[in-house]
Structure 1
């Protein structure tokens, strides 16, 4: 359980950093790319014994790490497009509702436990995610021509979580968690550098110190959010469907509370209802695992 709490804390710090990006006009793409290399470095030098990384491409989990690195960048860019076309609330709902994919995969593919409390908790969690994400009384609206983008964000985010569970279960040893996590970020960072090179040739690249600092501030908690999540998935006594549900809903809850305290965010009635449902869903899912 401690790993789950640490993953939630790390993800909440990511939320705070992203909010500060807006305040200090940080270029999100550049900061994201720097963040991947910082996260990779934290893993390589903080959690890996030895310095010989030449065997990494031979590891059975390496193709999966490459795929996840690509998905990290792809989903980020899809989220940016969705934000431009449909707004932040749509992105928030698509990203957080994606928890349904790993939860369903855990139940049907890994034969994880189900029960009235757990099913009710999961349903309440999905309702909580939606209600806490919308920022207007009217809810969210998406033009039919733009529907493909949030759908891709939903699928991409869900596939990332599901793949983490699959690779962690089938290929990644306990001693390789740090190396596995770092390899994902290294792949994402390399793809990001290619994007920056293209921008440079197009004359659109302008790197500043605050973008680099923003990347450093994001990279450290970002690494730990993945590392601790993988470690939480290895915990005995908790199914992955339970871990993913509690992780996503706890992040929503803590991020919302931090938004109120630090950034003076104003919540509408639907947000408060969602917050209450989030707390209730955590209690139900946690008790179902006991």
Structure 2
């Protein structure tokens, strides 16, 4: 019988192989036909579409899904809550308000991306700042602060919608909120992906400390862990990674919830390989959903439609399972 470590390693290799296969398929999937033969023949238009649109879109799908899955693992571990997700401290709602402001008052996709990122950072900073006012170090304070920030950001978003042009601006805001990798190009993703990679590297370097945060706070302090500062640092890194993804793709539902749970169900553990597998499954979910979004209908659909079709039943399953096994 294979040891748990070997089983986890095998699952990670299988997840990486599946993600690589989907990424390759994603490069050639879309309304404009690409083929290996055309690329090898040096077709200029095919190469332009390949490098400018398909590669950047696939890279954002892989890295973005990985970040959402890994961040979801961190949130569920730190909060010791199986229903925790990257939205828990208001990052998604803050990004939505920022994107809406960008659509209304700025021009260009890059400006909307920057505005969404700024909104996410503002929400994170406000939530962490409010939680820092509580000197007890309880992790529940961050959740309550996130709920308050989410409500505030939703109020701002509703006010912005009321001032939007119903035919153009309001439709753009609603489409952004539904989430899509359509329109991503290689000219605007470099900074966000670089910061996302740095945040992910920090999270994996701190994986042991993250697992210690899952223990009781008294036990963690006995092991020399500065619980309050470490929790804030870990949450900030995870949320920054999510903010980078959300600023590029819009809101992607349920990936941060589904991927880490799927990894734990497969490995039956809560360790670094499980965190890695959660990231790989997040990439598989996002890239797979993006392939379906541009394949199943004549017009491209929002990615969150497909992630929600998986996520909503799974969320109900977790709730029912929690009641049966309190």
TM-score (norm 1): 0.31
TM-score by length of 2: 0.28
Higher radius of gyration, 1 or 2: 2
> Which structure has more RCO (C-alpha within 8 Å, separation ≥ 6)?
1
